[in-house]
Structure 1
Amino acid sequence: MAERPGRGESNGAVASGLADDDPRLGLIYQEAVRGLTHQQSVVENMNTRAGSLIFATAFANSLLGGAALSDGLGLWDWIAVALLFGIGGLIVFMLWPYHQYAFRFDPEELLDQYVDGDRPATMSAMRRALALRIKPDMASNWRIIQRLRVALQIALFFLLLDILAWLFAIAAV
């Protein structure tokens, strides 16, 4: 940005400072944003898997449960029903929208901090500060994602046990 004659020296310093753009910081910021985008896709993938788990659970329980319950309730039937409720609880945990993910910044805060202040920040300074802010957000997101992953794994294990319990009930073991 060229400095126009007649401007004050402080405006020239800001104008020349705004031209500062370190491509290395751009790359680092881009990678940090890519990490957040990856996390967001993992969360969406987990939600899709939870939906598939709902379908698989409903299908297996309607198919096997109907056959098993035709001769009354036995121990294996009760175990299968308990596992069904366990799977349902885990699915609710995975899909309930209470998780506090951090995938984006507050635009008003960014404007106040980097643009509208007494001295606007350079692109390099903004990218550096935002890249550093992304790190704790990613760590917080990963803690939530790991809990969801464990819940999904437990629910899948419960589904396997549920199917086995229905099969044992059908076989009258």
Structure 2
Amino acid sequence: MAARPHGGESNRPVAGGLDDDDPRLAFIYQEAVRGLTHQQTVVENMNTRAGSLIFATAFANSLLGGAALSNGLGVWDWAAVTLLFSIGGLIVFMLWPYHQYTFRFDPEELLHHYVDGDKPTTMSAMHRALALRIKADMASNWRIIQRLRMALQFALVFLLLDILAWLLAIAGV
């Protein structure tokens, strides 16, 4: 039977083994994953908001556009139609699936780098490396999210201006 370590020896990693497991690195890795998950939720919420914007735009334009166009085409009608197409373009930009988000790791790459390589990696080293990689992925994702957020904000302002243009067209101003 193997002898158990005494006193302070129990906290030391086994030489040459893979028993290195720093709970601080595990905590940091978990927080990084939580941040990345939150970021993914933000993207999903923005897609939901874009869908709501489609509905609001369609509703406002069908309701107000029909009334405004019954008097013919005027300056405000053209302004409203231009704003409608601008909103449509921004919505397409927000929902088009070309964005290169990074929310997960490639299992084959992880196996190659951390398990099947020349020297297997400890859990602490993996947690550290993956936490840093998540940070880089989050920064890359954030640039995309910022562009989408700006597009959503412009589309919302354009919707308000669109409604105002239709109301001015109906009023005959």
User: TM-score, normalization: structure 1?
Assistant: 0.90
Spell out, residue by residue over 1:2-37, the C-alpha distance to the aligned partner (whole angstroms, 9 max, x if none).
8xxxxxxxxx855x3x22111000000001111110
What is residue 90 of structure 1 aligned with on the other side?
90
What is residue 6 of structure 1 aligned with on the other side?
none
Asked if 1:64 corresponds to 2:64, the answer is yes
What is residue 20 of structure 2 aligned with on the other side?
20
What is residue 53 of structure 1 aligned with on the other side?
53
Spell out, residue by residue over 1:18-71, the C-alpha distance to the aligned partner (whole angstroms, 9 max, x if none).
221110000000011111101100000000000000000000000000000011
Aligned length: 161
What is residue 76 of structure 1 aligned with on the other side?
76
What is residue 161 of structure 1 aligned with on the other side?
161
What is residue 123 of structure 1 aligned with on the other side?
123
Counterpart mapping for 1:108-147 below 5 A: 108-147=108-147
Q: Which has the higher helix share?
A: 1
Structure 1 runs (4+) deviating above 3 angstroms are none
What is residue 29 of structure 1 aligned with on the other side?
29
Looking at structure 2, the residues matched to 58 and 132 of structure 1 have their Cα atoms a distance apart, in angstroms, of: 44
Looking at structure 1, the residues matched to 118 and 141 of structure 2 have their Cα atoms a distance apart, in angstroms, of: 33
- CA RMSD across the alignment: 1.2
SS, match of residue 105 in structure 1: coil
Aligned partner of 2:119: which letter? R
Looking at structure 1, the residues matched to 136 and 127 of structure 2 have their Cα atoms a distance apart, in angstroms, of: 15
Aligned partner of 1:27: which letter? F
Aligned partner of 1:74: which letter? G
Looking at structure 2, the residues matched to 26 and 68 of structure 1 have their Cα atoms a distance apart, in angstroms, of: 62
Asked if 1:172 corresponds to 2:169, the answer is no
What is residue 149 of structure 1 aligned with on the other side?
149
Q: Structure 2: 5+ residue runs without aligned partners?
A: 3-13
Deviation of 1:79 after TM superposition, in Å, equals 0.3
Q: Structure 1: 5+ residue runs without aligned partners?
A: 3-11
Aligned residues: percent identity?
85
What is residue 8 of structure 1 aligned with on the other side?
none
